[in-house]
Amino acid sequence: MKWYYNVAFIVLVMVSTLLIRVPVPAGGYFNLGDALIVFIALVGGSASGALAGGLGSALADLIGFPIFAPITLVAKGLLGFVAGLGKGRNIVLSITLPFFGELIMVTIYFCGTWLLPSLGKAAAVADLVPNLIQGFSGVLGGKLLFTAWQSIAPRK
């Protein structure tokens, strides 16, 4: 993938993360970033997914929740990488791998939140269900975007 596509992908993830934010009880928020990460990963592969997911989401966190930026860099980067392993694969793997990536992301956020002295166990537990819902929604939304893109993208 050309470098300028990856720059555009990073910006798209950052903007989609910041554009629509629905607060959740523990202080985080639902956003559209995961759907874009899954879509980008399925279009561009693991490297593009990792770059867009990690950097785009971490940049958004620097604006909204800077304490989470390092955790987000790893969590969303791994989400994008694992989801990108589904690029060009059959329908089962192109859905299963993004789900596995989302589970990795949720696990990293759970552990990272638990270890943050200012948040801890209670916040980690409170964020678990919202993170799982966002993860499921992200896979569904990303796969729907990818399916729509496949129907209009030029064939090689």
Q: Using one digit for the tens of pLDDT, what is the confidence trace for 29-85?
A: 889 999 999 999 999 999 999 999 999 999 999 998 899 999 999 999 999 999 999
Query: Residue 92: is it exposed, middle or buried by C-beta count within 10 angstroms (0-12/13-18/19+)?
Result: exposed
91 domain residue, yes or no: yes
142 domain residue, yes or no: yes
154 domain residue, yes or no: no
pLDDT value at position 26? 65
pLDDT value at position 23? 83
Domain extent, residue 33, equals 3-148
pLDDT value at position 156? 64
98 domain residue, yes or no: yes
Domain count, the chain: 1
Beta strands in the chain (DSSP E): 22-23, 29-30
155 domain residue, yes or no: no
Query: Residue 85: is it exposed, middle or buried by C-beta count within 10 angstroms (0-12/13-18/19+)?
Result: buried
46 domain residue, yes or no: yes
11 domain residue, yes or no: yes
CATH number at residue 25: 1.10.1760.20
Among the ranges given (22-26, 60-64, 139-143, 149-153), the one the predictor scored with the smallest mean pLDDT: 22-26
pTM of the model: 0.94
156 domain residue, yes or no: no
